[in-house]
């Protein structure tokens, strides 16, 4: 709000508040507080626009973001002292993805007979890379091996399969599934039969592991992808060496460096898993004078020496998704 005359309006630009750089997952200790914690956080955020609250439905975590550990802990202390709401906190989970690097053709055969009409559907699907982060369904069926009215059911089965990878349960991206062939029964074939046939073809694609060229390897070559963040750090030039030394230990790629008026602006691509506590590190390196922003860039393959640990530490079970 400004005080001015109607003839000469004076409007100031909005203040650009910094985005959250450190997150904590939280949940009320008392289930009775679940209804009122939202109102309490809304009041706190109205007073402090640098507080950010979101829910990551994929990993079932409520997240609170702020400018550092002290800032976030202050909010939790306010919830406890001013609103009488105790919370439990934990580190946020990384949202990984799965993808494939190879290709394979597999058959899915779904047949079930339990008296009367049964279920029957057979599909042959080629699984390969799509060339992007998008999943693509295509068909190259000739001669009516699978009637066109069942194509949507096959696609539905493909999409359902890709919701959960078979390495660790993460969603699968970057896959092209092409329906090549199949079989149907004029009485027993229905939508559910071809949905399940596509799912069985997907599972078979992961299980096929005989490759004469590479030995006992998955033909599909599934792997894990991790989120890469664009990290923009602004600090006095006297700290540039220490900042570079630190981010080099975090599997970072420096994208650009620019010095202006004694301040260095450094932009780097860094795996999110490596910067969960970076706000505290930068504060220590720059004696609280440095600042940074972070934003999602892309998904990239996890280095091979880390994949087993990522799978073991982050496996998503069926119960987690319920």
Of 44, 60, 90, the last residue of a domain is 90
Which of 73, 90, 107 corresponds to the end of one domain?
A: 90
Cβ pair 204, 210 in contact under 8 A = no
* Rounded-to-integer distance, Cα 75 and Cα 64, Å: 9
Q: Quote the pLDDT of residue 11.
A: 82
- What gap in Å lies between CA 247 and CA 57, rounded to an integer? 30
Asked if residue 118 and residue 72 are part of one domain, the reply reads no
> Domain end: 45, 64, 90, which one?
90
pLDDT at 17: 83
What does the pLDDT read at residue 318? 46
H or E element in which residue 263 lies: strand 263-271
Q: Give residue 211's pLDDT band: very low, low, confident or very high (50, 70, 90).
A: very low
Please compute the mean of the pLDDT values over residues 182-205 and round it to a whole number: 93
Any domain includes 7: no
Percent of the chain with pLDDT over 70: 93
* CATH (domain of 293): 3.30.70.240
Question: Packing angle between helix 151-162 and helix 191-207, nearest 10 degrees?
Answer: 40
Domain assignment of residue 153, yes or no: yes
pLDDT, tens digit (0-9, with 9 covering 90-100), for 86-134: 999 999 999 999 999 999 999 999 998 766 678 999 999 999 999 999 9
Q: Return the residue matching tokens 């299980």.
A: 207
Looking at the structure of the chain, the number of domains it has is 3
Dihedral pair phi/psi, residue 54, rounded to 5°: -150, 165
Same domain, 63 and 138: no
Is there a domain that residue 82 lies in? yes
Domain check: are 237 and 288 in the same one?
A: yes
- Say whether pLDDT at 212 is over 70: no
Same-domain pairing of 203 and 102:
yes
Is 214 among the domain residues?
Answer: no
Q: What is the pLDDT of residue 187?
A: 86
In a domain, 68, yes or no: yes
66/52 Cα distance (integer angstroms)? 6
33 and 134: one domain? no
pTM summary value: 0.84
- Establish if 279 belongs to a structural domain: yes
Backbone angles phi, psi at 43, to 5 degrees: -65, -40
**Does 86 share its domain with 102?**
no
Q: Where are the alpha helices (DSSP H) in the chain?
A: 34-47, 69-83, 151-162, 191-207, 240-247, 278-285, 304-314
Has residue 322 got a pLDDT over 80?
no
Closest-CA residue to 127 (of 50, 218, 192): 218
Under DSSP, the state recorded for 4 is: -
Same domain, 230 and 156: no
Q: Are residues 192 and 230 in the same domain?
A: no
Distance between CA atoms of 185 and 122, rounded to whole angstroms?
Answer: 9
Q: 100 near 219, Cβ under 8 Å?
A: no
Domain harbouring 28, CATH code: 3.30.70.870
Q: Are residues 122 and 199 in the same domain?
A: yes
- CATH number, domain of 103, equals 3.30.230.10
Regarding whether 186 and 106 lie in a shared domain, the answer is yes
pLDDT in tens, 245-256: 999 999 999 999
Indicate whether 103 and 201 sit together in one domain. Answer: yes
**Is the model's pLDDT at 170 over the cut of 80?**
yes
Q: How far apart are the C-alpha atoms of 118 and 141, rounded to whole Å?
A: 24
With respect to residue 9, please indicate whether it lies within any of the assigned structural domains: no
Same domain, 106 and 185: yes
**What range does the domain containing 248 cover?**
224-314
In a domain, 301, yes or no: yes
Distance CA 169, CA 281 (A): 32
Quick check: 41 pLDDT over 50?
A: yes
Compute the distance between CA of residue 240 and CA of residue 242 in angstroms, rounded to an integer.
6
């Amino acid at each position: 709000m400004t005080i001015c005359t109607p003839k000469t309006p004076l409007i100031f630009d909005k203040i650009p508040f910094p985005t959250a750089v450190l997150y904590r997952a939280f949940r009320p200790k008392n289930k009775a507080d679940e209804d009122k914690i939202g109102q309490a956080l809304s009041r706190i955020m109205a007073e402090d626009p640098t507080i950010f609250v979101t829910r990551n439905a994929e990993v079932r975590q409520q997240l609170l973001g702020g400018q550092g550990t002290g800032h976030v802990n202050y909010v939790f202390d306010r919830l406890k002292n001013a609103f009488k709401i105790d919370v439990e906190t934990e580190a946020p989970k990384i949202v990984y993805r799965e993808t494939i690097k190879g290709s394979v053709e597999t058959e899915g055969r779904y047949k079930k007979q339990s008296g009367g009409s049964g279920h029957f559907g057979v599909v042959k699907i080629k699984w390969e890379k799509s060339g992007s982060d998008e999943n693509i369904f295509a068909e190259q069926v000739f001669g009516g091996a699978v009637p066109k009215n069942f194509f949507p059911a096959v696609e539905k089965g493909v999409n359902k399969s890709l919701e959960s990878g078979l390495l660790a349960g993460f969603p699968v991206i970057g896959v092209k599934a092409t329906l090549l062939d199949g079989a149907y029964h004029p009485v027993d074939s229905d939508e559910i039969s071809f949905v399940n046939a596509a799912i069985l073809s997907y599972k078979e694609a992961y299980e096929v592991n005989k490759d004469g060229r590479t030995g006992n390897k998955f033909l599909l070559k599934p792997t894990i992808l991790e989120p890469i963040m664009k990290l923009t750090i602004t600090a006095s030039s006297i700290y540039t060496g220490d900042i570079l030394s630190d981010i080099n230990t975090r599997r970072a790629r420096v994208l650009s460096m620019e010095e202006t008026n004694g301040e260095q602006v450094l932009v780097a691509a860094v795996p999110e898993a490596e910067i969960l506590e970076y706000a505290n590190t930068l504060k220590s390196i720059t004696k609280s004078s440095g600042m940074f922003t972070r934003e999602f860039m892309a998904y990239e393959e996890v280095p091979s020496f880390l994949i087993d640990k990522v799978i073991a530490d982050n496996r998503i079970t069926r119960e987690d998704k319920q």
